[in-house]
Structures are given as structure tokens and as C-alpha cells.
Amino acid sequence: MRRKVRTLSIGVLSVALVATGCTRTTEDGGTGTGNEEAKTQTGSISYEAADNQGPAAAVEGATKGGTITVLREFDFEHLDPARNYVNVQQLTGGLIYRSLTGYKENGTGEMLLVGDLAKDPGKDVNGDCKVWEFTLRDGLKYEDGSPVTSKDVAYGVARSFAPQLNEGPHYIQQWLYPGGEYNATYKGPYDGGKPAPDGVETPDDKTIRFTFAEPHCDMPYAAAMATTAPVPAAKDTRTNYDLRPFSSGPYKVKSYQRDVALELERNPNWDPNSDPLRTAYPDGFRFTFGLEAAQIAERLVADAPADQTAFTWTDVPPAVLPRTTSGPVAERVVKGPTQYTWVLNINTQRVSDLNVRKALNYALDKDAALKAIGGQAAGTPATTLMSPTTAGWKQYDVFGTPPTGDAQKAKELLGGRTPELVLAHANTELRTQQAEAIRKSLTERGFKITMKSIESSSYYDEIGRKNNPYDLYLGGWGSDWPTGSTIIPPLYDGREIGPEGNNNLSYLNDPGISAEVDRVRKLPAAEQDAEWMKLDEKIMREHVPVIPVYYDATYVLHGSKVGNAFLSDAFGAIQVNTIYVKQ
């Protein structure tokens, strides 16, 4: 579905933007109401004192108390802020720790980027976007009552350079060390490394300063990523930090049993007066893992007392969908388009023949892939790398095939060959059904496909390994903030490919694309959007690293006692910052 663009004023930077988003999603594809047209959204970076001050605005009718339950098919891959790069994980992480900036949302499509840990969205010191300074608020404390300092923020950024913690966003790291692999020279604070990377200074406990070689006017957006969450060095357990992030937010980890449940309870040292984003109405959150999508939907449709305070980020599967479109259940649906494009990544290291990659694009039946997770209601067939929500987006179609594919052209390109390929998929019910639909259409059109199942709680970790043994695998990606700079470079610039933790899942590594990335990044902001779109098309015409499959929507349920559940424009899932339990 086509999504309307909004204009977002970004302080020193003014560009046409759309609903901000965040990276990958592992949730099952949306079963939204089909051809809904996205609302026009408006917002801005705000330096107004009233917008940046805590406490967060009260929600009408909301009361404190109760526990919100989140029903999930699988556990989180990562909660460590250095490794947290999936939308629902970021929403959950935001309950436990805070970043320098963040998004203030109310469900109307209007959204403000304001200071979170910082007093405001940051100061462009010299007016050229090269030096950014953030001043921390008063009253920031960890769960043990100790103060949050700028050195803790710097240490959090530093540890994100560690090779063993490489799954998170890399914008700030790349800006500090441009022109190649972000951690080629500085590898974090471990094993004798410096406590902070070059370009990061903390002149006092309240101030952190970032100095970049090139202008980066979108630093206020990058500062909203979990990369800037504070981590006290004394509490850093390295790879085990996933299991027990130290709280600077309204909730702390009470218990965490992997693949079973995560429980959050109040952080008594969180000061609501220091927080403009979070109301923290519930006494706690409980995340329950290991449920089937149909089981979750059936429970929420039934709305038994135990599930009235529950919601899910898992979309309603096709079999249950008809029972949610009318009556009281329909009032408990949260739906709408998101910023994600789902693509079938082609591992170009293993599938090196360009004609085979082109044949795959002709062969895939996108309609069948969509029907497996809800038909047209799951989204609309895609032909581009970037979502229509991205600034500067324009429609193009390199192959000009109908959504059902073109078997004849696929077989012509194969010339009698029958390539044998391995199709990996997450092991949820809907993703397995979708993978089977993909396998069937490709098999009928000249390929021999072997399916391999991957645990959903480690899906991106597995396909993010450079030497993974798979040829094809689905992935969803949305903009971190809505420009092509948060889509094309992380997904298609080969200089960022490492042994593990990759976002470039097609493993495309072409010097020409890298040169174009550098060229576009240096253009004036007003010119970049159109150039990212041109590069989008160039990549598909000349390299064919993926099959664009569909533009995503979401359609989820919540219980009757869940209040203020709305679709986050920043994350493309139900926002939890201001949710509450109805009494």
C-alpha cells in the first residue's frame, strides 16, 4: 500500500521525512486490513522546554497498577543495548534503559523527537553538524540509586565497538571512524582498549560531546538508538549483559528465564520528573514466550480474565482473522501500515550468477507468499528496496512481472539448469507456511529448494553470519529515521560486512555501490532523498541482491483491560511507554 509522506522539521536539518522507524522486525507479517491508505503523519524535533520536560503527559483515564502481559511466540534475540536492533526488542529495552533522545508519541501520528537522558535533542555546537553536545538531566539514577553519568553513556557507545557485541546499529560508530569497517581500528574498551572511542569526550559528568569528520545533521535521531544507553563499567557482564541490563529506566529485570518468561518490576529510583516519554503506569510487565500465533490470537479473542491485561506483537493469523473484524473484538485491534519492506535475501556469496538471481525474481509468486500469512491483508507486493514511507520514494519495477511471477522468463534465464538452493526460515507457524509457499513457486519454475528451519529467537544472528550455509532467507527492514541513509548503506554497503552480526544479509560487496554511498552522504540534505532512491534502483537493476516481496502492515490484538494501546510510528508495533491497565 502507498504511504503518504510527512514533512518533519529537524532543527538545523530540514528534509521531507515519514514515519520514523527502526530496523529489523522478526514478527510475523502483518494481517492488516489490506488496501488501507496510511494517514499523513506530522512531527518534528522539538527544543521547546515544555516538550522536553518531565513528567510525561498523563493519559486520560489511566491509573497506576496492575501487570501487562505480552504474549509472544519466541524469546528476544538481544536486550543488551549494544546488540538491540529489532523493533519490539527496542520497545522492551526502552522500559529498562534510556537513550540520549527519544520519541514522544500519542497515537495520532504526531511525533516529537525530544531529549530523553539529555535535556534536549542535542546542541549543534558550531552550526555545521560536526560537533554535537548533549547535557544530561538532573535526577537520573540507576536501579541501585547511583547516578547516571556522561561517562556511562560514553562507555555504552564504546562497548558497541566490541566484535562480540556487534548486532546493533552502527551509525555513530561509522561516523566516528568513517570510510571502512567501523571497528577496524578501535574495538571497544575490553582487553586493554580505551574507555571511549576517538571523538567522544566527557568534560564533566553531565556532558558528552561527539566530534565527527563530516557533517551528520541527523545525530539527534541516531542518539535515540539504544547505542547511547548508559552502561556502568562495573556492571558490564559483556555477552551476558543480554540477560540482565542494568536499569536506568522505569523498570528493572526481576527474572528472566530464556525461552520461558521475562518479568520486569518497578525501578524505585526512576524519577518520573526526569522523563518526558514514559508514564510507567503498570507495576510490571511479563513477557511470556513459546506460544503459537493461533494460540495467542484465540486467547485474546476469547478475552478470559487472565488475558484481559495482555497484548501481543504477533499478527493475527489468517485462520483467526475473520473473527476479529466486527463486534467487540474489532475494538481491540491495533492495525496499520508500517515502515518495513520484506525481501527475500539472496546470499550473493553463494548465488553468484546474476542470471540466477534475476530468474529468482521472475520465479517468485509474491501473491502466494502473502496469502500464506493473510493474503492481501498482510501487505502489498513490493518492487523496490525501500518502503513507500521513505522520503523521496518513487515506484519502479525492474522486472515488470505480475505479483504471481513469470515462469517462462525464469526458465529462459535458467537455460535448462536446475539450481539447488537452501531456503532458511524462522520456525514459527506462519513463517514456515510462507517458506513452503516460496519453495513451491520456485520449485515449479526451475529451482530445487531445500528448506531449513532456524529458531526464531536466533534467526537474525544465524543469517547474520557471513559464512552461513543458506542461499535464501526472508528479512524485514524499516528505516531508523525515514531517509534512505538508514536503509541503503546498512543493507548494501559491503564495507560493513564482518564475520557476524551483519545487516547486509545479501552480502553484496561492490566498490561502485560503496563509492555511491560516500557520494550521496556528502550531498546537501535536500538532495539526498532522490539520490538514495536512484541508488535503490541501480542496485536492483545491476546487482539483484534480493527479491522485494511485500510492503508490510500490522494487525494485532489486545485484551479488554489494556488501555492506550496504539501503533507506534517510530517502531511499527504497539508502543508500551504510556500503556496502562484498566481498573
User: 581 with 68: CB under 8 angstroms?
Assistant: yes
CB 340 within 8 A of CB 478: yes
Per residue in 349-390, pLDDT (tens digit) is 999 999 999 999 999 999 999 999 876 667 889 999 999 989
* Strand ranges, E, within 331-419: 333-346, 379-381
In the CATH scheme, what is the code of domain 336-553?
3.10.105.10
Number of neighbours of residue 469 by Cβ within 10 angstroms:
11
Q: Quote the CA–CA distance of 324 and 556 in Å, as a whole number.
A: 10
First to last CA, the chain: 38
Provide the pLDDT for residue 110. Answer: 82
Phi, psi of 262 (to 5 degrees): -125, 130
Residue 414, CA atoms < 13 Å, CB-side half-sphere: 24
What is the Cα 31 distance to its own chain's centre? 19
Q: Give the CA count within 13 Å in the CB-facing half-sphere of 418.
A: 6
* Residue-by-residue pLDDT tens, the chain, 583 positions: 222 222 232 333 322 233 333 445 556 554 443 334 433 334 589 999 999 999 999 999 999 999 999 999 999 999 999 999 999 999 999 999 999 999 999 998 888 999 999 999 999 999 999 999 999 999 999 999 999 999 999 999 999 999 999 999 999 999 999 988 899 999 999 999 999 999 999 999 999 999 999 999 999 999 999 999 999 999 999 999 999 999 999 999 999 999 999 999 999 999 999 999 999 999 999 999 999 999 999 999 999 999 999 999 999 999 999 999 999 999 999 998 889 999 999 999 999 999 999 999 999 999 999 999 876 667 889 999 999 989 899 999 999 999 999 999 999 999 999 999 999 999 998 999 999 999 999 999 999 999 999 999 999 999 999 999 999 999 999 999 888 999 999 999 999 899 999 999 999 999 999 999 999 998 988 899 999 999 999 999 999 999 999 999 889 999 999 999 999 999 999 999 999 999 9
As a 3-state breakdown, the chain gives helix, strand, coil percent values, each rounded to 5, of 30, 20, 50
Contact residues for 324 (Cβ-Cβ < 8 A; gap 6+):
297, 301, 316, 330, 333, 555, 557
Q: What are the Cα distances from residue 10, in Å, to 114, 150, 482, 523?
A: 11, 24, 12, 17
Distance from chain centroid for Cα 193: 29
Nearest-CA neighbor of 465 among 425, 426, 505?
A: 505
The three-point CA angle 542-546-550 to 5° equals 125
Taken in order 528, 531, 537, 542, the sign of the CA dihedral is negative
User: What are the two backbone dihedrals, phi and then psi, of residue 222, each rounded to the nearest 5 degrees?
Assistant: -60, -30
Q: Which residues pair with 134 in a beta bridge?
A: 208
Is the alpha carbon torsion for 501, 503, 506, 507 positive or negative?
Answer: negative
What is the rounded distance in angstroms from the CA atom of residue 36 to the CA atom of residue 38? 6
What number of residues does the chain have?
Answer: 583
Which amino acid belongs to residue 456?
S
Q: Which residues of 296-334 are buried (b: 16+ CB within 10 A; e: fewer)?
A: bbbbbbebeeebbbbbbbbbbbbebbeebeeeebeebbb
Distance, in Å, from the CA atom of 316 to the CA atom of 300, rounded to the nearest integer, reads 10
Locate all alpha helices (DSSP H) within 97-199, ordered by sequence.
Answer: 150-159, 171-176
Which residues, other chains included, contact 327 with Cβ-Cβ below 8 Å and sequence gap of 6+? Answer: none
CA–chain centroid gap for 223, Å, is 15
Cα separation, 364 vs 346, whole angstroms: 12
Distance CA(333)–CA(331), nearest Å, equals 6
> Are the C-beta atoms of 37 and 553 separated by less than 8 Å?
no
The DSSP element (H or E) to which 239 belongs, if any, is none
Neighbours of 570 (CB within 10 A): 27
